[in-house]
């Protein structure tokens, strides 16, 4: 038995690990120590933008749980579980032969099992001025505190530039907009969210965002951050596509949100194997090449070689480690890159293969409603199996369609019908068509069976179901489906023209 557990990192995935161990009754008979660089207990990083929507002081969000705050709560010091937490005191060294961890404050912690959950750090492009006053990353509580304090001095007439048009970059753009700044988003790829969306989906999303007053620059490279005599950011220099002349944009604040790299320096320093592009190498049990050390979440490189940077795979890895530490045989089998979320009020989702990955013979049905700002695409094999899909503006059908991709199941209706918004039966009643095994919340791997059981036991609100099952407590994108299982489904939008096209063809 691993009596002494040390968890390095207290983010969302680390919190899932502790919760999973607690659910197995595995904390009270163990000495568990959590060491973390941040001075805040585990909080909901996905909802950080709430910090910018507070009209007054916002730090209370990092002191409260539930709807009133961002803290995740759960097992911790003083609750009888034996957990000791060392916040603001990161691990700086691992002595593998003696199985000891040393912290920045000089504490030495012995372990039988060590779990690395150190996450990832944002990339800052190596351009002149990127370290000037007014330049920030967007990932932690400290980041959002610093951004808000700086923007409060810039005032509502200020201007902000976000470098990166992916998930995190668009969240950051929404945060700056909430503070009253004029916002520009700069994305190096030809369209927004290139890891999740195809070109036409990216174009549709761009129209939504520009309608909010945010200026979008795609296919554009940052060449420098301009500064004044006091080394404060005053603007950025951009290189637009197609040989266009350089462009200057005023900026009182510059936020870098253009990708991350695994925080694997602790593993490197003690000789653990890491991937070519970073990440602690782990096997299907999430164990490193040291039998006493595991790694989970963004800092880990799974055995399938795919590091997604998403919450759901990290949580799945945490569940595997919790199971293994308590004598189980669970393994991490990989994770698809399916995503569903709401960005700046716009529903966005993707699942399965992308158009450029389509095999010969793949057929694509598309639905484009420019007036409503809706783009939907479904890709099927020549055998009629669903291979992938992309949604912007309307994600109805996502929950019902995702299991078809994962399980290679036949389509329940012609793809030309399913691509129309509202046609798939994804908003059932509590006894609707979802099979019990259909996963409703992918962040926490909660099937419909668990939600239905909670409803039968008297959970009559989203909050009650969330508390009982954890469904909806991750990214929150499954809230409408959980509500549907409660009998609170929303009406589906009306149809528009649908055009079947060969995969990869223009709409």
pLDDT digits (tens, 9 = 90+) for 218-253: 999 999 999 999 999 999 999 999 889 999 999 999
| CA 146 distance to own-chain centroid | 22
Residues 293 and 379 in one domain: no
Among 390, 399, 401, which residue's Cα sits nearest to residue 442?
399
* DSSP label at residue 51: H
For 407-462, the DSSP string reads HTPBPSS-HHHHTSTT-S--S--TTSSS-TTSEEETTTTEEHHHHHHHHHTT--SH
311 token code pair: 């919450």
Segment among 11-20, 22-31, 65-74 with least mean pLDDT: 65-74
The domain in which residue 187 lies consists of 135-258
**Parallel, antiparallel, or unpaired for β 260-262 and 120-122?**
antiparallel
- Predicted TM-score (pTM) of this structure: 0.87
Residue 379 lies in a domain: yes
Residues 362 and 449 in one domain: yes
**pLDDT single digits (tens) 276-285:** 999 999 999 9
Does 108 have pLDDT greater than 80?
yes
Residues 460 and 414 in one domain: yes
Residue 450 lies in a domain: yes
For 219-270, the DSSP string reads S-EEEEEEE-TTSBEEEEEEE-STTPPPEEEE-SEEEE-S-EEE--HHHHHT
Residues 230 and 276 in one domain: no
Residue 41, CA atoms < 13 Å, CB-side half-sphere: 21
Does 503 have pLDDT greater than 50?
no
Does 409 have pLDDT greater than 90?
no
Residue 107 lies in a domain: yes
Instruction: Report the CATH number that the domain containing residue 186 is assigned in CATH.
Output: 3.50.50.60
**pLDDT single digits (tens) 175-191:** 999 999 999 999 999 99
Segment among 151-155, 432-436, 445-449 with least mean pLDDT: 432-436
**pLDDT single digits (tens) 45-82:** 988 999 998 888 888 999 888 778 899 987 766 566 77
Environment class of 352 (CB within 10 Å of its CB; exposed 0-12, middle 13-18, buried 19+): buried
Residues 252 and 296 in one domain: no
Residues 353 and 481 in one domain: yes
Helix or strand (DSSP H, E) at 15:
helix 12-23
pLDDT of residue 77: 62
Does 497 have pLDDT greater than 50?
no
């Amino acid at each position: 038995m691993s009596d002494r557990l040390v968890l390095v990192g207290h983010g969302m995935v680390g919190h899932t690990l502790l919760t999973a161990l607690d659910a197995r009754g595995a904390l009270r008979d163990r000495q568990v120590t959590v060491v973390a660089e941040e001075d805040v207990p585990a909080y909901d990083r996905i909802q950080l933008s709430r910090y910018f929507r507070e009209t007054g002081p916002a730090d209370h969000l990092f002191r409260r749980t539930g709807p009133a705050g961002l803290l995740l709560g759960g097992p911790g010091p003083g609750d009888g579980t034996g957990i000791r937490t060392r916040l603001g005191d990161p691990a700086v060294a691992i002595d593998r032969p003696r199985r000891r961890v040393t912290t920045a404050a000089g504490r030495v912690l012995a372990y039988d099992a060590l779990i690395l959950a150190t996450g990832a750090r944002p990339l800052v492009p190596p351009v002149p001025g990127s370290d000037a006053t007014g330049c920030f990353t967007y990932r932690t509580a400290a980041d959002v505190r610093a951004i808000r304090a700086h923007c409060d001095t810039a005032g509502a007439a200020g201007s902000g530039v976000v470098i990166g048009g992916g998930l995190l970059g668009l969240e950051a753009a929404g945060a700056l907009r909430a503070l009253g700044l004029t916002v520009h988003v700069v994305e190096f790829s030809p369209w927004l969210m290139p890891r999740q969306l195809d070109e036409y989906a990216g174009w549709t999303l761009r129209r939504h965002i520009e309608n909010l007053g945010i200026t979008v620059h795609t296919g554009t490279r940052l060449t420098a951050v301009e500064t004044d005599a006091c080394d404060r950011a005053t603007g950025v220099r951009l290189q637009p596509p197609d040989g266009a002349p350089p462009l200057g944009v005023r900026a009182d604040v510059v936020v870098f949100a253009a990708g991350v790299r695994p925080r694997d320096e602790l593993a490197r320093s003690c000789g653990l194997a890491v991937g070519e592009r970073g990440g602690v190498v782990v096997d299907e049990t999430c164990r490193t090449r040291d039998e006493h050390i595991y790694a989970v979440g963004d800092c880990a490189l799974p055995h399938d070689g795919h590091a997604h940077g998403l919450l759901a795979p990290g949580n799945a890895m945490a569940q595997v480690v919790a199971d293994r530490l308590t004598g189980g045989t669970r393994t991490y089998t990989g994770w698809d890159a399916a995503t569903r979320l709401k960005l700046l009020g716009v529903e966005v989702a993707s699942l399965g293969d992308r158009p450029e990955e389509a095999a010969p013979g793949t057929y694509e049905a598309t639905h484009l409603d420019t007036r409503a700002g809706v783009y939907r695409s479904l890709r099927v094999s020549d055998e009629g199996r669903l291979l992938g899909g992309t949604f912007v503006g309307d994600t109805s059908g996502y929950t019902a369609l995702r299991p078809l991709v994962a399980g290679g199941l036949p389509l329940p209706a012609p793809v030309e019908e399913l691509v129309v918004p509202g046609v798939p039966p994804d908003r059932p009643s509590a006894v609707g068509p979802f099979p019990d095994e259909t996963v409703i919340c992918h962040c926490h791997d909660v099937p419909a069976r668990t939600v239905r059981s909670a409803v039968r036991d008297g959970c009559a609100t989203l909050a009650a179901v969330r508390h009982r099952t954890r469904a909806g407590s991750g990214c929150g994108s499954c809230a409408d489906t959980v509500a549907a299982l409660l009998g609170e489904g929303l009406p589906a939008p009306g149809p528009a023209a649908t055009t079947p096209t060969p995969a990869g063809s223009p709409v």
